[in-house]
Structure 1
Amino acid sequence: MSLTPDYLAQDTSRVLFNVTTAVTILTTLVYILFLISRVFCVERNNLEVWIFPVLSYIFCVGLWTLSYLLYAEGGAGRHIAYWFIAKPAVITTYLKIQTAAEFVYVAACLFPKLTILALYLRLFTNRTVRIGAWIVIGVCIAHAFANIVASFTICRPFEYKWNKTIPGGRCSNPMASYRFVSLPHILTDIAIFLLPWSSLYHLMISKKQKLGLCLTFLIGSLGMITAIIRCVSFFRIDLESDPTWYAPTLFSYTIVEPSAYLICSSFLSLRPMLRMVYMWTRTKVDSYYGTGTSRSGQSEITLSHLKGGHRASISAIKSLSRGEDDDRKSNFIRLDETVDVDVSPPYGAGRV
Structure 2
Amino acid sequence: MASQVPTSEQLKALPPGYMAEDIGYRLTNTAIAFLVLVHVIYISHIVSRAACAERNHWEIWTLYPLSYLSVVGLSITGVHRGVGRHMSYLLSKEPAKIVPSFQLQTAMELLYMTGVTFPKVCILLLYLRIFADRKVRIATWAVMAIVVSNFVFTGMITTFVVCQPFAFKWDKTIPGGHCADIMALYTYIGVPNIVTDVAIAILPLSTLWKLQMNKKRKFGLFVTFMAGSLGLIAALVRFAEFYEIPLMTDLTYYGVETMIYTIVEPSAYFICSCLPGTRPLVRHIYRSYSSATIFSWKSDKRSSASRSDNSQSFALGNPVGNHTVFVSTPKANGSSGVESSRAGFIRLEETVDVQSTPGRNEQGEMV
Give TM-score, length-normalised by structure 1. Answer: 0.81
Aligned to 2:335: none
Paired residue type of 2:199: A
Contact 1:95 1:162 in 2 (8 A): yes
Counterpart pick for 2:37 among 22, 26, 47: 26
Paired residue type of 2:198: I
Aligned to 1:116: 123
Going from structure 1 to structure 2, the CA distance change for 1:44 and 1:166 (only over 3 Å counts) comes to same
Indicate whether 1:271 and 2:279 are aligned.
Answer: yes
Which digits, 9 at most, give the CA deviation of each residue in 1:82-127, with x for residues without a partner? 1111122211111111111111110011111011111111111111
Quick check: which has more Rg, 1 or 2? 2
Indicate whether 1:251 and 2:259 are aligned.
Answer: yes
Which digits, 9 at most, give the CA deviation of each residue in 1:275-323, with x for residues without a partner? 22222223422431338xx98725568xxxxxxxxxxxxxxxx9969xx
Aligned to 2:63: 52
The count of residues paired between Structure 1 and Structure 2 equals 302
Contact 1:220 1:268 in 2 (8 A): no
Aligned to 2:297: 288
Alignment of 1:52-201 (within 5 A): 52-68=63-79, 70=80, 73=81, 75-146=82-153, 147-201=155-209
Aligned to 2:338: none
Counterpart pick for 1:8 among 1, 12, 19: 19
What is the SS of the residue equivalent to 2:147?
A: helix
Task: Return the alpha-carbon distance in structure 1 between the equivalents of residues 136 and 314 of structure 2.
Answer: 48
Contact 1:220 1:267 in 2 (8 A): no
Counterpart pick for 2:210 among 202, 205, 209: 202
Any stretches of 5+ residues in structure 2 without a counterpart? 1-9, 301-312, 328-358, 361-367
What is the SS of the residue equivalent to 2:132?
A: coil
Task: Return the alpha-carbon distance in structure 2 between the equivalents of residues 216 and 37 of structure 1.
Answer: 16
Going from structure 1 to structure 2, the CA distance change for 1:186 and 1:295 (only over 3 Å counts) comes to farther
Alignment of 1:198-237 (within 5 A): 198-237=206-245
Aligned to 1:304: none
Indicate whether 1:297 and 2:308 are aligned.
Answer: no
Paired residue type of 1:94: S
Any stretches of 5+ residues in structure 1 without a counterpart? 302-317, 322-330, 333-352
Task: Return the alpha-carbon distance in structure 1 between the equivalents of residues 315 and 45 of structure 2.
Answer: 43
What is the SS of the residue equivalent to 1:139?
A: helix
Q: CA RMSD in A?
A: 2.3
Going from structure 1 to structure 2, the CA distance change for 1:33 and 1:299 (only over 3 Å counts) comes to closer
Paired residue type of 2:294: V
Task: Return the alpha-carbon distance in structure 2 between the equivalents of residues 24 and 54 of structure 1.
Answer: 15
What is the SS of the residue equivalent to 1:271?
A: helix
What is the SS of the residue equivalent to 2:173?
A: coil
Task: Return the alpha-carbon distance in structure 2 between the equivalents of residues 295 and 201 of structure 1.
Answer: 45
- State the shift of 1:5 in Å: 5.2
Going from structure 1 to structure 2, the CA distance change for 1:93 and 1:283 (only over 3 Å counts) comes to same
- Tell me which stretches of 4 or more aligned residues in structure 1 moved more than 4 Å: 298-301, 318-321
Going from structure 1 to structure 2, the CA distance change for 1:256 and 1:296 (only over 3 Å counts) comes to closer
Task: Return the alpha-carbon distance in structure 1 between the equivalents of residues 265 and 187 of structure 2.
Answer: 14
What is the SS of the residue equivalent to 2:18?
A: helix
Task: Return the alpha-carbon distance in structure 1 between the equivalents of residues 242 and 95 of structure 2.
Answer: 25
Contact 2:194 2:235 in 1 (8 A): yes
Task: Return the alpha-carbon distance in structure 1 between the equivalents of residues 237 and 180 of structure 2.
Answer: 25
Going from structure 1 to structure 2, the CA distance change for 1:164 and 1:296 (only over 3 Å counts) comes to closer
Going from structure 1 to structure 2, the CA distance change for 1:148 and 1:295 (only over 3 Å counts) comes to same
